[in-house]
Structure 1
Amino acid sequence: MIQIQKYIAGILACCVVAAASDVQAQSHRNTSFDNDWRFLKGDTTNAEKESFSDAGWRKLDVPHDWSIEGLYDKNNPTARGGGYLPAGVGWYRKSFTVEEGTEKQLHLLQFDGVMANSDVWINGVHLGKRPFGYSSFVYDLTPHLHTGKGKVNVVAVRADNTIQPASRFYTGAGIYRHVHLITVNPVHFAQWGTVVTTPVATAATATVQVKTAIENTGNKSGDYIIEVGVLDAAGKTLKTVSVKQTVAAGATAEPMQNIEVSKPALWDIDNPNLYKVVTRILSGKTVIDEQTIPFGIRTARFDAATGFWLNDKNYKIKGVCLHHDGGAVGAAVPLDVWKQRLSLLKQVGVNGIRTSHNPVAPEFLDLCDQMGFVVMDETFDTWTAAKNNGEKGYNLYWADWWQKDTHDMVVRDRNHPSVVIYSVGNEIHDNLNSPEGFKKYKDQQDLVHQLDGTRLVTMALFRPANSKVYTNGFAETMDVVGQNYRENELVAAHEAHPDWKVIGTENTHVLNMWLALRDKPYMAGQFLWTGFDYLGEADWPETTNNQGLFDRAGNWKQQALQRESWWSDKPVVHIVRKSDNAGAGTWVANWTPTDFDTYDNAKVQVYSNCDEVELFLNGKSLGALPKPANDAPRDWDVTFEKGTIKAVGKNKGKEVATESFTSAGAPARIVLTANAPSIAHNWDAVTYITATLVDADGIPCPNADNHLQFSISGPAAIIAVDNGNIISHEPYQATSRQAFQGKAVALVKAAKGSGKVVIEAVAEGLQKGTVTVEVTP
C-alpha cells in the first residue's frame, strides 16, 4: 500500500539500524486524528475562525456519516439516487496542541475522504477545497500552526452536499473516512511517493524494485543514505541495500534500488502472501524518516487470446461490483463490515472486485491484498456529461479536477498487489464519437501510465452500437476493452478484432452471461452487478437497489446460491422453489409456504456443480438428474407436502454435498448468534448479532415478521440495526427492527472498558434470545 507512510513502534527489531531507535521515535509519526471532534449539522457563519465557540456542538469521533443517521423521506432532495436520505451542510471542528519537540518538523493532515465539496481551515486560514468526496488528500498545516507548550490549534471542516441530485447512488455526508496527523522532518519521503514493483517474479527468484521520492523542504542541501530493506511475513529482514543521495534544498530526489529475493512466496488469489518494504533516510547514523509499505511479489497481465494471467497462471476473474456504502452504517464503514462481506463473497467463489464507481477507502484495498481479491480500481462515474438522477454531481467539476483526483488515487493505490487494472469511467455519456471524446479518454489513460507503468487501463463502455466506439477507432486506443452488459456484443467485437484484450466490466446474474465467460478463453473476467445490495438507485418506496448476491444485512439471495454452483471449487447443492403455487412468485430457499392451504404445486430447482443430484421429499426419492453441460439448474415438479425436502449431490457415485429444508410452524423463540466471539477495542471492529426466529422445534421461520427489540449490557453499544428489506423505512441507528424473512441483525461495537457483553432480543409472545461476546482490551 502506499495508503500512507506509517510509523510503526518497535520496527527496528526487524530492521537494520537498531542504534537509531531513540532518534527514529521523532522522525516520522502517523497519528490517528479521528477522536474528539465537534459536529454541527447545518450551516453557520464564522465557524472556521479560532475564536468561534463550538461548546454547544455535538461531540463525536470520525469516521462519521451524518446522512445515515437521518430518516427516510420521499421528499428529500437526494431522491432515488441518494436513497431519500438527508443532504446538506455539516461542520466539524477539532482543537489540538502540537507535541513539544516537534516545532521544527512538518505537520501534515490527511483526510481519507470527506463527502463532499469540503473546505478545510487551520486557525482560520483556508487550506483548500476538494469537490470529489471520494478522494484522499493532504494539507500542510505547518506554516499556520501555533507551537509551544499549551498553545491550541483549531481545524475546521465544512462539507456540503446541498446541491442535489448529486449522485445516482448513496454517497453519505461528512468526514466519513479516517483522518491522520503526520509529522515528518524537513527532509522526508514524499507523501505516496514510493513505488514498489516486482519486474521479475517467479517461484525461483524475484526482483523488488523500489523508487523513492525524497523531498527537502529545508534551506540547505544535504547528503543522505537511502536504505531499503525487504521483510517477509514474519517480520524477518531478508536483505537490505543502501545508496548515497544528495538532496538539494527545495528539491526532490528519486533514487531507485533493486533487491533480489530468492524463492519468494508469490501473491495470488489462493495464497495472498505479503511482504514489507522498509525505507529509511539517514543523516550519518540518524534516521530522519522511515516508512513501511506492504506489497506482494507477483506478475499480472492481460492477453488478447487467453484473458487474464497471474504469475503465469490463467485465471478467470470472477468479480462483483461494490458500492462504498456498508448498508446500515452508511458510508462510514468499519473494516469488519467489509471483512464480513468479502468473506461471504469468497464463499460464493468471487475473486475480483470492481470499485464502483469511485476510489475506495485505502484500508479496503489493504483487505483485498490480505484476502486475495484482484481489483479493478475505478475513478469516476461521470466526466462532463450529466446522468439522470445525478445531474448536479461530479460532472460539474470533472474538467477542473480529473487530473488531481486521478493522480491522487493512482499514487495512493499503486503498491497494492490486489490492484491489477484501472478503470477511468463508467457508462460515460460524453460523446465518444468525437475528437474531444477520444482526447478525454487518452489524456486519462496517459496520466495513469505515467504514474503507474505496470498496469493497464480500461473503462466501462455503454451501448457501443450507439456510441460507435467499436467502429470509430475508439476501442483500439484502449488497453483493455471493457463493456457493461450485452456480452454477445463484446464477444462479437473480439472475434472481429482478435487482437483486442476484453473484459466484462458489469454483468447480470443470468446463465448465458456466465457462459460468455466460461466458454470464451479470451474473456478475462466479469464483474456482476452487484455483490451486495446498496443504498440508493431505487424508486420509492424502495430505498435500496436489490441486484446484489447478498442483501444489505448479509443474507444469501437466490442469485448467490446459483452463482456459488458456478464459481465455487467446492461441491455445492442448493434447493430453491417458487414462492407461490404452480411456478408463480420469486425463488426462495425454504420449504415453508406463506399459505399451506393454497400451495400444492411446487416448482423446485437445485443449483449444483455435482455430477448427479437426487431429490427427496420426506425420505422418498423424487429422482436423480445429471449435471447439464451448460450448468443450468436441475428442475423438479413436486406435489407439496409438509415435512423435509433434501437434495444429495454426488461425484463419481460418492455423496459430497447435501442441503435440506423443513417446514416451519409458528414462531416460538428468538435465537441470537454472533459472527465472532469477541470485539477488539477499535473503531473498525464490529460484531454482527443475528436474530433468527424459530418454531418450537428450532426450525427457522422464513416468513416471520415480528418486531424485535434489542438490548445490551456491558462495555459495548449497538451502532445499527437492519433486516435487508428494501422497502423498510425504519431508522438504522436504533435498537429495534422488524424481522424480515425471519431475521434481523444488530451491529455491536466496543465502548470504554473490557469484559463480558450480553445482547438480548425480545418480541411479543416469543421466548427471548441471548448471546454473549467479549470485549478485548
Structure 2
Amino acid sequence: MPVGLVLSVLAAQAQAPARTVTAFDADWRFLQQDAPAAAQIAFDDAKWTTVAVPHDWSIAGTYDQAAPTGRGGGYLPSGVGWYRKQFMLPETDRARRVMVEFDGVMANSEVWLNGQQLGQRPYGYSSFAYDLTGKLNYGPGQANVLAVRADNSVQPASRYYTGAGIYRHVRLVSLSQVHFAQWGVYVATPQVSAAQATVRVQAEVMNQAAQAGTYVVETTVLDPAGKVVKTTQTSQPVAAGSTVVFTQEIAVPKPQRWGVRQPVLYKAITRLRQANAVLDEQATPLGIREAKFEAATGFWLNGENLKIKGVCLHHDAGALGAAVPLAAWERRLNLLKQVGVNAIRTAHNPVAPEFLDLCDRLGFLVLDETFDTWTAAKNNGEQGYNRFFTEWWRADTRDLVRRDRNHPSIVLYSVGNEIHDNLNDAAGFQKYKEQQDMVHQLDPTRPVTMALFRPGQSKVYENGFAETMDVVGQNYRENELVAAHEAKPARKVIGTENTHVLSAWLALRDKPFMAGQFLWTGFDYLGEADWPETTNNQGLFDRAGFWRPLGYQRQSWWATQPVVHVVRREENAGAGAWVANWTPTDFDTYDDAKVQVYSNCDEVELFLNGKSLGAKPKPADDSPRAWDVTFAKGTLRAVARNKGKEVAADELRTAGAPAKVVLSTERPTLAPGWDEVAYITARVVDANGVPCPNGTQQITFSASGPGRVIAVDNGDVRSHEAYQASVRATYLGQCLAIVRASAPGGSITVQATAPGLAPGSLTLAAAK
C-alpha cells in the first residue's frame, strides 16, 4: 500500500467511531417461495412484501394435518423463503471493515451480497457473521443488496416447532481495520471470595490492516452503580494479518456477587487503542460469582449449597412462533420466578442472545445446550441436524461457546439431548470427548454434561462413559440416577429432564448429591403433538402463559412465600383433569367433588360456604392435601396457616351466566419497538365478576391509537385458529391479545367485544 494511502486510511480510522453497530431489522423484502435469481442485485423485488425482522413466516400459516412438518413441527407450513434488503454506506466506510451479524436464520441459510455468495449455515439456531469488506459499494446513490435464502423444505426436520425465516435480529457492524474478533473479548472470574475477586480479560485483537503495529488493550471495570473500580492496560505488537490474545487480570475488592436472589452486574469496558486513537470498544456485562458442582453435595453458588430448580424451555412463544420479542420472554421468566424456578435449560439448541442477557439480569441459572441430535436420526425429525452434524458440529459448538461464555447465568453446558448414537463403542466416546474438549478449550470455567437417554440400555454407567462427563446428566428415571451415584459416589449428578410427579421432586429434595432438575416443561410449546393437538402440553403454564394446576402444585414445592391453591377434578367422582374453578359443566350430574389443595404451609383448613370441612397438616412428603366434598354452589375457600396465623388463602366461586368481558395486563405502559409487547388478557365473567370457565365466546379485539394487535391466543392445544388475527375463542373462559406500540406518546385503547356480553376496554400509555 502506498505511504499516502496508508496515512489517509489511518486518519480515517482515527476520526471514525471505534465501532458502529446499526440495527438491520427494518425494511426487508420477503417472498414465501423459491426465486433462484433473487440473489442478483438487479432482481426486481417490487412486488414482494415488506417486513421487519425478526420474522417467522411459518406461524402466520394455517394448520394442516397433511403438512410435511408433521407431528414434530406442529403441522405448520415449511418451504423456502427469500429476503432482500437494499442499503447504502458512506464513503468513509471504504477504509473500514464491515460485517453483517445474524442471530439466527431458520434454516439452511444462504447469504449473498451484490450477487456474490458469502456462505451458508444449515443450523438455524446458530448465530453467525459475514465480512462484507471488498464486496460493497460506497457513497451516495451506490446501492447494495443483501439477499438471504432460508430453506426448511426438507421435512420432517425437527421433533418440535422451529419456525422459518430470519427469526432473530440482524446488525451491520462497521469496524477499524484493527479490531476485536467477533466474540473475542472473554471476561471470566476464575477466583471469587467475599474479600476479593479476580476478573480475567482475554481480548483477541485482529490486525486486518496492511502494516504491523503496537496496540494497547485497556479495560475498565465499573461497579453496579457505574463507579470505576479499576483500569488496567496491556501493550504488545500485532503483525499484519494476525490475531493476538491480550490477557489481563484485575482485582476487585469486596465484590458484590451475582446470584439468583441478587443478580448484580458489573461492567467491563474494553478498548483497543493506538496512540490517542480508540480503534475498538466493547462493553461486557460482568457477573462476579463462583459456581461449582460437588459430588457429595450438588451445586454451590458463592459458597451457598443451592438446589437447581429448573425448567426446560423451547424457543417458541406460542402465538408469536419463533420470533419472540424480549418482553414476551420477560413475562414468561417472571411467571416462572413466581413458581420458585431458578434455572432454565435451553432445550435443545442455542437461544437468542438477548434471552441470556435477560437471564443475567433476572438471576436465572442456565444449562446452555447445543444439539438434539448427533448423527443418528430421531423419529419425527429424520431430516434434521443429523444430516449436518459431522461437518458442522465444530463450527456450531465453537460459535455457541464463544458467544455465550460471558454470561454469569450459564453454569453448565450440554452437548446433546437423548442422543441416539451408540455410546457403547469407541466412536461414541470420541464424539462426546471431542465436543467436551472443545468447550473446555474455549471456556475452561464451566463443566460439560449431556442429557443421557436410557443409560441402562446404552451401558454408560458400566462402560466408563459416565466417568468422562464433568457432570452426569440424565433424563427421567430419577431412581436410576440416584443408584448410579450411590454405586460410585465420585459422580456429580443432575436431572436434565424430569416429570412433574412427586417422586421426582423427592429425589431432588431428599438427596444432597442431586444438584438439581429441569422439568419438562416450563411452558407448553408448539409441535411434538398428535393431531388434532398441535402443542405439547406438559408445561407449568400453557402456551399463552396461563397458569396450569401443575404450576400451582410446583409452586407449593419450590416457592419460598406462603402458597395455597385449590383445584378439583373436572368431572364427577374423580374423573377428568384438575381445574381451578367451582363451576361444573353439568350441575345435575356433579355431586362428588374430589378436591386437592397445594400448599407449603403448616396447616390448611377448607371451607364450603363458610362451613369448615376440616383442617389438615402439611404431609412430610409434600403431597397435596385431599378432601372429598359433596358439591354445593357457592364458595370453596382454603385458608393456610403457619404457627396458627393465617398467611394465605384461595377461593373458588360458582359462576352465573356470562355477562361481560374484563381486560387486564401486567404491562400498563408500552414503549415502541419490536421487542416491546403487552399481553392483554380477556376473561368472561358473570354479573358479580366471577370468572365463567365453561363454554366458548368469540372475542374480537381492536386497538386504537398508536398501537395494534399482532397476535391472539387462548392456550387450547386443539385449537386450529389463526394466531395473526383479531378474533379468538375463549378457552376455560379466557383468551388474550398481544399488542405492540407503533409510535411513541399518546394512549392505546384496547377493546374486546363478544356477542351478548358487555365489552371490555383497557388503556395503555404509549411511552415516549
TM range (shorter): over 0.9
Q: CA deviation at 1:422?
A: 0.2
Residues 560-709 of structure 1 aligned to structure 2 (within 5 Å)? 560-709=551-700
Counterpart Cα distance in 2 of 1:286 and 1:25: 10
Q: List aligned pairs for 1:129-140, cutoff 5 A.
A: 129-140=120-131
Amino acid paired to 1:464: P
Match of 1:390 among 381, 388, 407: 381
2:182 partner SS? coil
2:291 equivalent in structure 1: 300
- In structure 2, relative to structure 1, the CA distance for the partners of 1:671 and 1:189 (3 Å cut) is same
Aligned to 1:460: 451
2:249: which partner in 1?
258
Q: Residue 400 of structure 1 aligns to which amino acid in structure 2?
A: E
Selected match of 2:428 from 427, 437, 453: 437
- The Cα of 1:223 is off from its aligned counterpart by 1.0
- Please provide the CA RMSD for this pair: 1.2
Q: 2:510 matched to 1:532?
A: no
What is the identity, as a one-letter code, of the residue corresponding to 1:724? Answer: G
Whether the aligned pair in 1 keeps the contact of 2:671 and 2:744 (CA below 8 Å) is no
For normalisation by structure 2, the TM-score amounts to: 0.98
Q: In the alignment, does 2:759 pair up with 1:768? A: yes
| Secondary structure of the structure 1 residue equivalent to 2:91 | coil
TM-score by length of 1: 0.97
What is residue 3 of structure 2 aligned with on the other side?
none
Tell me the residue number matched to 2:66: 75
**In the TM superposition, what is the alpha-carbon distance from 1:420 to its structure 2 partner?**
0.3
AA of the residue aligned to 1:366:
D
Q: Residue 55 in 1 paired to residue 55 in 2?
A: no
Return the match for 1:201 from 192, 209, 230: 192
8 A Cα contact 2:109 2:122, kept in partner: yes
1:31-50 matches, within 5 Å, as 31-50=22-41
2:274 corresponds to which of 283, 293, 313: 283
Note the 1:316-335 alignment, pairs <5 A: 316-335=307-326
Secondary structure of the 1:597 match is: coil
Deviation, 1:283, is 1.1
Deviation readout 1:123-179 (Å, 9 max, x if unpaired): 000000000000000100011011223211000000000000000000000000000
Say whether the 8 Å CA contact 1:457–1:479 is kept in structure 2. yes
Kept after mapping to 2: 8 A contact 1:681/1:750? yes
1:597: Cα distance to partner?
1.2
Q: Deviations over 1:217-264 (max 9, x none)?
A: 111000122100001222222210112121110011111111111121
- Contact 2:665/2:681 (<8 A) preserved: yes
* Aligned residues between the structures: 758
1:175 aligns with 2:163: no
Deviations 1:57-101 (A, max 9, x none): 000110000000000000110000000000000000000011232
Map residues 365-514 of structure 1 onto 2, 5 A cutoff: 365-514=356-505
Q: Which residue of 1 aligns with 2:19?
A: 28
Shift of 1:703: 1.4
- Residue 596 of structure 1: SS of its match in structure 2? coil
Equivalent position SS for 2:257: coil
Please report how far the alpha carbon of residue 704 of structure 1 lies from its aligned counterpart in structure 2 after TM superposition.
Answer: 3.6
- Measured in 2, the distance between the counterparts of 1:161 and 1:24 equals 44
Q: Deviations over 1:424-466 (max 9, x none)?
A: 0000000111110010000000000000000000000001111
* CA pair 685-602 structure 1, distance change in 2 beyond 3 A: same
The residue number in structure 2 matching 1:559 is: 550
Work out the CA distance in 1 between the residues paired with 2:689 and 2:132. 60
Q: For 2:225 and 2:489, how far apart are their aligned partners in 1?
A: 45
Distance in 1 separating the partners of 2:207 and 2:636? 72
SS of 1:367's partner is helix
Partner of 1:5: none
| 1:113-128 matched pairs, under 5 angstroms | 113-128=104-119
User: What CA deviation, in whole Å up to 9, does each residue of 1:633-681 have, x standing for no partner?
Assistant: 0011111110001111111111111111110011100001122111111
Residue in 1 aligned with 2:8? none
Give the corresponding residue for 2:354.
363
Give the match's secondary structure for 1:46.
helix
Displacement after TM superposition at 1:281 (Å): 1.1
Structure-1 separation of matches of 2:766 and 2:660: 27
- Does 2:218 correspond to 1:227? yes
1:745 maps to what in 2? Answer: 736
Corresponding position: 1:344 with 2:335 = yes
Q: CA deviation at 1:48?
A: 0.2
Farther-moved stretch of structure 1 (99-108 vs 436-445): 99-108
CA distance in 2, matches of 1:704, 1:651: 38
The whole-number CA distance in structure 1 between the counterparts of 2:730 and 2:408 is: 41
Given that 1:674 and 1:773 are in contact with CA atoms closer than 8 Å, whether structure 2 keeps it comes out as no
- Alpha-carbon distance, 1:753 to partner: 4.5
CA deviations over 1:666-699 (Å, ceiling 9, x no partner):
1100001122111111110000000000001110
Q: In the aligned structure 2, how far is the partner of 1:765 from the partner of 1:481?
A: 58
CA distance in 2, matches of 1:407, 1:753: 40
Q: 1:208 deviation in Å?
A: 0.8
Structure 2: 5+ residue stretches without partners: 1-10
491, 505, 510: which is aligned to 1:519?
A: 510
Quote the offset at 1:584 in angstroms. Answer: 0.9
Q: Is the 8 A contact 1:24 1:288 kept in 2?
A: no
- Report if aligned partners of 1:686, 1:748 keep a CA contact under 8 Å in 2: yes
8 Å contact kept, 1:278–1:293: yes
**Secondary structure, aligned partner of 2:172:** strand
Is the 8 Å Cα contact of residues 660 and 759 (structure 2) preserved in structure 1?
yes
Q: Secondary structure at the match of 1:54?
A: coil
- Whether 1:315 and 2:311 are equivalent positions in the alignment is no
CA distance in 1, matches of 2:228, 2:524: 43
| Mean CA deviation greater in 258-267 or 127-136 | 258-267
CA contact (8 A) 1:24 1:289 kept: no
Aligned to 1:12: none
Instruction: Give 1:300's aligned amino acid.
Output: A
Which SS does the other structure have where 2:38 is aligned?
Answer: coil
| Structure 1 residues 716-737: Cα deviation after superposition (integer angstroms, max 9, x where no partner) | 1111000000000000000000
Identity within the alignment, % = 65
- Whichever residue aligns with residue 120 of structure 1, its letter is V
The separation in 1 between residues aligned to 2:540 and 2:639, in whole angstroms, is 24
Is the contact made by 2:702 and 2:708 (CA closer than 8 Å) also made in structure 1? no
Alignment of 1:99-114 (within 5 A): 99-114=90-105
**Equivalent residue number for residue 93 of structure 1:** 84
CA distance in 2, matches of 1:238, 1:493: 46
Paired with 1:149 and 1:719, the residues of 2 have a C-alpha distance of 36
Q: Which whole-Å CA distance do the structure 1 matches of 2:595 and 2:349 have between them?
A: 40
Give the counterpart of 2:718 among 721, 727, 735.
Answer: 727
Question: What's the CA shift for 1:507?
Answer: 0.1
Listed as ranges, the gaps of 5+ residues in structure 1 are: 1-19
Deviations 1:163-221 (A, max 9, x none): 00000000000000000101100100111011111112122211111110000011100
- Find the residue that maps to 1:193 and give its secondary structure: strand
| Secondary structure in 2 matching 1:438 | helix
Q: More displaced, 522-531 or 94-103?
A: 94-103
Cα distance in structure 2, aligned partners of 1:363 and 1:274? 15
User: Which amino acid is the alignment partner of residue 422 of structure 1?
Assistant: Y
